[in-house]
Amino acid sequence: MDATQLLKGVLDVAVLAVVEDEDGYGYDVVRRLRAAGLEEVGDASVYGTLRRLYTAGALTSYVVPSEEGPHRKYYGINAQGRAMLDLQRKVWTEFSTTMNNLLTSSTQPGEAA
């Protein structure tokens, strides 16, 4: 099984989680995700996810001009984003518990029906 495939389904919640405490710009978010262990995450996927969460109303966005280079676009979580994150945390917890149980039990010889 490919971890990048799994990642697609949970990238939203992962991105929400890393901007929960502190606003971040595109590459900053990528770096936080990689630092958290999601090494395979693609830049463009993260930027696109940020944009989609923003369009969905889960993130706020503001541009910080830079004197020396191109400006950066920061994203921050808002109330709707927090609600979404809470909900997805629950969904994930339940789902992962179920999957853990399933996978753990199915590895036990003789217990498979």
Partner 1 sequence: MTTSTVTPEIVAFAQGVRAALADLPAEEVDDLTEGLEADLAEAYAEDLQRELPDPAAYATELRAAAGLPVRTKPKSGVLSSLTQGWHDTRADLKVAIRRNPALASVVDFLGELRPAWWIVRAWLAAWLVASFFGNERGYGMAGTWWFVFVAFAVISVQWGRGRWHGPAVPALIAVGNVIAVVAFLPVMAAADDPRSSAGDFDRGFASGVDATVSDTPAEGLSFNGHLVENIYAYDAQGKPLKNVQLFDVNGKPLVTNRGGDASPLTPSAARLETGSDAYNVYPLKVTEMMWDENGNYVPDPSPDPRKTRALENGPFLKVPAVDVPKKVAKSNE
Which residues of this chain interact with partner 1, rule CB under 8 A?
11, 25-28, 30, 42-49, 51-52, 54-55, 63, 66, 68-73
Q: Which is nearer to partner 1, 11 or 18 (CB)?
A: 11
Please compute Rg for the chain using Cα positions. Answer: 17
CA 23 to chain centre: 14
CB of residue 110 to partner 1, shortest distance in Å: 43
> Minimum CB separation from partner 1 for residue 73, in Å?
4
**Distance, CA of 74 to CA of 112 (rounded, Å):** 50
How many CB atoms are located within 10 Å of the residue 19 CB? 23
Q: Which is nearer to partner 1, 24 or 85 (CB)?
A: 24
